Amino acid sequence: MQQFTVRPAGRLRGEITVQGAKNSVLKLMAASLLAEGTTRIENVPRITDVKIMEEVLTAIGAEVRRDETGAVLVTAPAVCTPVAPYELVEKMRASIVVLGPLLARHHFARVSLPGGDDFGSRPIDIHLRALGELGAEFTTEHGYVEGRCDRFVGARIVLEYPSHTATDNILAASVLAKGTTVIENAAREPEVTDLAELLTAMGARITGAGTSRIEVEGVDELHPASHRAVADRVEAATFLAAAAIAGGEVHVRGAHHEHMDMYLEKLEAMGVGLEPTATGVTAHAAGRPVAVDVSTLPYPGVATDYKPLLVTVLAVASGVAIVSENIYAGRFRYVDELRRMGADIRTEGHHAVVRGVERLSGAPVRAPDIRAGAALVLAGLVAEGETLVTGVEHIDRGYEDFDGKLRALGADITRGDDRPPTGA
C-alpha cells in the first residue's frame, strides 16, 4: 500500500496540464462497443479507473491498447461476450455504462451490480427504468442485472433526476434504436456533450446534448471514429483549490473556465483571483480565503465532486460557512479526517458548518474516495508538521501523477510504502 507524505512548503507557483476527463473517458471507451472495428480516443489519462475499464472491455471481448502517442484504441469484435464480471464491476460504478451499448448492439447483457466509491446509496433503478422504456426487460439475481431486448424502439424518457451516468447510458443505447428518442431532464455536463460528439463522429444523429432535452434519431449501424476527450474539470478544480489553500500563482493549462462557472464564482468570492486565458485558467491567491456558503446541485451548479475541495479551503478560511450536500447523503465521511488535522467542522444530515482555523496540523489520515483523498493532500500543504495520507489507491483512480504535478508547483510531497520496515 502506498502513502503520501506532505509537508508545508509555502506558496505554489508554476503550471500544470490537466488530462482528459475521467468521467468522460470511461463512457467513451464503453461507447466504442457500439461499432465493430477500432475507435481511437486521445487525451486518456493513465489512471486506475481507465485500467479497470480496459479490463472490463477485454472481458467482454474487445481489444484495448495504447498507441505510440498514448491514445487508447478500442477494437470491438463482430460479436462480444456481453457479460461484465463482478470482480471488475465492483471496483468501479462507471462500469454500468456498458449496459446500454451491449443491449443496443447485441440485445443481451449481464452486468454485475456496480461498486466504486463509498459515499452513499446510488441505485441504478433510473438506468433500468429508462432502458426498459426503450424495450429492455431485466431480471436481477445473484448480484447481476440481466437484460434482454429486440432492437430498441425510440421513446420519450423523462428522468426523475438529471443523472449524468444514466443520461450517458440512455444516449449510447438510443443511437441504434428504431425511431426517435427524446431524453427530458437530461444531464447537461460537458462530459455528456463529449460523449455525444464521439457518437456523432461514429454516425449517430443527436441534437441538444448539453441541454436538458436531448433528441436522438436512431440509425441502423455505427462505424469506428477518432475523438479527443474533453479536459478534466475536476482535476482543474483541484489544482485551483491548491492555489486557494496554499497561496501563490498557478496556471492550469487545458482548463475550460466555461465548464466550471459556479465553482469559479465560489473561489472568487473566497478572494481568489482568477484569470481565464487562451490556454487555461490562472489562479492568484495572496491571503487567507474568506468563508462563503456552498450548496451542491446538478450541473451547472457546484458539482458534488468539488465539495471536498471547497470544504478544505473553507477549513482554513476566515469566517464561518454552511455547506449543503444535495446529491449524495454520505459525502461528508472525510470530515472526520479533516478534524484529525484540527479543522473545526460539524455535520448534521446534509449540512456542515465550517469554522475556519488559521492553521491545520499534520496527522495520519486516510483517503475515503478519489476527491476527498485529493482534498486531504491539499490540506497537508498548510498543516504544521507532517501529514501522512494513506488510501492513495483511491486518488490514483482519478489523477495521473498527482504528487508529481504538485511537486512541479513547489509542494513538498513524496510517495512511499506505508508498511513498517522489516523487524519494526
> Could you report the per-residue pLDDT of 11-67, keeping only the tens digit for each?
999 999 999 999 999 999 999 999 999 999 999 999 999 999 999 999 999 999 999
Distance CA(301)–CA(245), nearest Å, equals: 22
Nearest to 9, CA basis, from 385, 412, 424, 327: 412
The string of pLDDT tens digits covering residues 209-227 is 999 999 999 999 999 999 9
The cell numbers describing 288, all together, are 487567507
Range scoring the smallest mean pLDDT among 4-13, 103-112, 139-148, 263-272: 139-148
Mean pLDDT score of the chain, rounded to an integer? 94
**Residue 89: pLDDT band by 50, 70, 90 thresholds?**
confident
pLDDT at 177: 98
CA–CA dist 161, 143 (Å, integer): 25
From 117, 232, 369, 403, active-site residue: 117
Q: What is the maximum span of the chain, computed from C-alpha positions, in angstroms?
A: 69
Q: pLDDT over 90 for what percent of the chain?
A: 88
The residue among 413, 356, 408, 411 whose CA lies nearest residue 389 is 413
For range 62-84, the mean pLDDT: 96
The mean per-residue pLDDT over the stretch 62-76 comes to 97
Report pLDDT for 120. Answer: 42
CA distance 367 to 108: 37
Residue from 389, 413, 368 nearest 1 by CA: 389
Q: Which three cell numbers stand for residue 140?
A: 436481477
Average pLDDT rounded to a whole number, residues 397-403: 97
Helix, strand or coil, per DSSP, at residue 139: strand
Q: What CATH number does the domain located at 22-228 have? A: 3.65.10.10
Q: What is the pLDDT at residue 118? A: 41
pLDDT in tens, 234-261: 999 999 999 999 999 999 999 999 999 9
Element at 262 (helix H, strand E): helix 261-269
In terms of Cα–Cα distance, which of 123, 112, 63 is closest to 89? 112
Domain ranges of the chain: 2-19+231-417, 22-228
Polymer length of the chain: 424
- The verdict on whether 261 is a catalytic residue reads no
Other Cβ atoms within 10 Å of 158 Cβ, number: 11
Asked whether the predicted pLDDT for residue 423 surpasses 70, the reply is no
Q: Which CATH number does 2-19+231-417 carry?
A: 3.65.10.10
- Same fold? 2-19+231-417, 22-228: yes
Provide the pLDDT for residue 330.
62
Span of 24-38, 104-118, 268-282, 367-381 with lowest mean pLDDT: 104-118
- The strands making up 137-141's β-sheet, listed across from edge to edge, are 83-84, 108-112, 144-148, 137-141
